[in-house]
Amino acid sequence: MATEKSKILVIGGTGYIGKYIVEGSAKSGHQTFALVREASLSDPVKGKIVQNFKNIGVTILNGDLSDKESFVKAIQHVDVVISTVGFSQIRNQINIISAIKESGKHIKRFLPSEFGNDVDRTVAIGAVKSEFEMKAEIRRAIEAEGLPYTYVINNCFDGYFLATLGQCETRLTSPPRDKVTIYGDGNAKAILNKEEDIATYTMRAVDDPRTLNKTLYINPPKNIVSQNDIVALWESKIGKTLEKTFVSEEELLKKIPESSHPLDLLLALNHAIFVKGDQTLFTVEPSFGVEASQLYPDVNYTSVDEYLSQFV
């Protein structure tokens, strides 16, 4: 007999990765709730996202992390809480932890806002280091309270890093066809995943006992590539060699503190990922983590090669 799927509450569902998580939850058959601030309903962009949620059967609950009463009510409906809140709300997740603790033991899993590099195994600097430290604080608070958890590490979003050939600071929506900036020597290995695949793996994990109190790493083998690999693959697809400008680590370290926000954060991300190899510096050990494509080999994930093909 199939196990009944958990009811899921997503907080931060109108954000970048949040909307994929909400849609993935609903489409995979989970009864799905999204906690949405009143202000989001009147926002022209977020309002459309919320309407789409309603169209696919998501229940919209009004409230936010600063309104503890609304949040405590919201979690009464569900078994699993997933947070996808952005940088400014990371520390406010302490209110989620408190509310889950107060609600008793019916919450089977909490997935805090991670969805990036492993913040316990990083060499990041600057603004990125500060953000990662806040996420690590939330991890320690979850563990101190004894809450059941899964930390999802998807490394890079394709939409930010692959569509830009690793130049996330450019905010390009399709790869350049003339020139590209390479960070360091371009050989450090990174891990890039399509947003819909991240949601798929996350949904597979929420009811899986193998991911309980573990870190889920989304490291599919075809998506572990260097910036040089990405550029070469793109060049082969368009039949053209791009003009390359190499930025040394020394130059990048000088530029980061001189840049205004959020450019400083984006450049610091490039430094961590494409110069230092932050996402591939360690081995995933069974004592703390599991790898998604090994746990769920039936998931037909989108490779780096396949993702780039859509732009040709």
pLDDT of 101-141, one tens digit each?
A: 988 778 999 999 999 999 999 999 999 999 999 999 999 99
Domain boundaries, the chain: 8-153+195-218+283-296
Residue pLDDT, tens place only, 203-232: 999 999 999 999 999 999 999 999 999 999
User: What integer pLDDT is reported at residue 153 of this predicted model?
Assistant: 98
Q: The domain 8-153+195-218+283-296 is classified under which CATH number: 3.40.190.10, 3.40.50.720, 3.20.20.150, 3.40.50.2300?
A: 3.40.50.720
Q: Rounded to whole angstroms, how far apart are CA atoms 80 and 77? A: 9
- pLDDT in the model for residue 240: 98
Say what the pLDDT of residue 41 is.
87
Grouping H, G, I as helix, E, B as strand and the rest as coil, residue 224 is strand
The pLDDT of residue 71: 85
Q: Catalytic residue among 19, 46, 135, 276, which?
A: 135
Interatomic CA distance for residues 188 and 179, integer angstroms:
20
What does each C-alpha distance from 216 to 24, 173, 180, 182, 293 come to in angstroms? Answer: 17, 28, 32, 29, 10
Q: Which pLDDT belongs to residue 64?
A: 85
Q: How far is the C-alpha of 293 from the C-alpha of 273, rounded, in Å?
A: 21
pLDDT for position 302: 98
pLDDT at 1: 37
The predicted model scores a pTM of: 0.97
CA gap 148, 105 in Å, rounded: 10
Known catalytic membership, residue 68 = no
Residue ranges in the chain whose pLDDT is less than 70: 1-3
